[in-house]
Amino acid sequence: MTPFLRLQGIAAPLPVENVDTDALIAVQHLYTLKKTGLGKFLLHRWRYNQEGHENPGFVLNRAEFRKASILVARANFGCGSSREHAVWALADYGFRCVIAPSFASILYENCVNNGILPVVLPAERVEELLALLENGTEKTVSVELSSCLVTFPDGSITAFTINQAHRQALLEGIDPIGFAMRHQEAIAKFQHDDRLLRPWIWGPQGRGN
């Protein structure tokens, strides 16, 4: 993954609560294990009408937000099923950060594991940010992970908190598999000791070696 240090980019306002994973990417687009190519299906039912044409009123189709790398939404973002494709679609579209008052826990973890920073801010600050993005001329937001600060378009700054393990994973650009690979010696030692302690677990003739 690409390390997340500091992001300054266009933020798109999505003033909707309970944006579920089916809205983020519909079930008919899930039949793939590829993380790329899913951005075109992100929020597809909202971005396009039944004829397949862009809905001009939807935020991601508006000229000032087409290159957004930050998404700002209301509470309970990413609820619904646990489909990781929802985060893959966000990342493939170009989002590196989502700001909301709260997230569904599984989607939150999936964001971290795929290099997207989920920022939890108080609901009143999120509402202020949504209003600034919708009504102001400046659409740029800055997110600093090292200091855990968000700078709004009007220059105001808000701090956020994040689990230290999640923060470190994003700063280093490492996913759970990469983290586990750092402990290969300890894993190998555990497996060796466990074979001696519980050989029946490993099957006949040391299966699992």
Give pLDDT, residue 50: 87
Give pLDDT, residue 180: 66
Please report, rounded to a whole number, the percentage of residues in the chain having pLDDT higher than 70: 95
Query: What does the pLDDT average to over 106-125?
Result: 97
Query: What does the pLDDT average to over 149-163?
Result: 97
- 206 band by pLDDT with thresholds 50, 70 and 90: low
Question: pTM higher than 0.85, yes or no?
Answer: yes
Identify the CA nearest to 123 among candidates 107, 102, 142, 143: 102
Q: How many CB atoms lie within 10 A of CB 12?
A: 23
Query: What does the pLDDT average to over 46-59?
Result: 93
What is the set of domains in the chain, with CATH numbers? 6-173 (3.20.19.10), 175-209 (no CATH)
The tokens 């679609």 sit on which residue? 89
- 69 band by pLDDT with thresholds 50, 70 and 90: very high
Residues β-bridged to residue 144? 6, 149
In this structure, which amino acid lies at residue 22?
A: D
Query: What does the pLDDT average to over 81-95?
Result: 95
Contact predicate 73/97, CB 8 Å? no
Give pLDDT, residue 192: 83
Query: What does the pLDDT average to over 162-184?
Result: 83
pLDDT, tens digit, 9 for 90 and up, residues 10-51: 999 999 999 999 999 999 988 888 889 999 999 999 999 988
Query: What does the pLDDT average to over 172-189?
Result: 77
Query: What does the pLDDT average to over 88-112?
Result: 97
Query: What does the pLDDT average to over 92-104?
Result: 98
Cβ-proximal residues to 187 (8 Å cutoff; 6+ apart), any chain: 180
Contact predicate 47/58, CB 8 Å? yes
Residue 88 has pLDDT above 80, yes or no: yes
Report the mean per-residue pLDDT for the chain: 92
- For residue 65, CA distances in Å to 31, 56, 185 come to 29, 12, 47
The tokens 């677990």 sit on which residue? 201
Q: How many CB atoms lie within 10 A of CB 2?
A: 9
Identify the CA nearest to 86 among candidates 23, 11, 169: 23
- 201 band by pLDDT with thresholds 50, 70 and 90: confident
Cβ-proximal residues to 94 (8 Å cutoff; 6+ apart), any chain: 39, 67, 68, 69
- 179 band by pLDDT with thresholds 50, 70 and 90: low
Contact predicate 14/68, CB 8 Å? no
Q: Where are the alpha helices (DSSP H) in the chain?
A: 21-24, 44-47, 85-93, 105-113, 123-135, 164-172, 176-181, 184-197
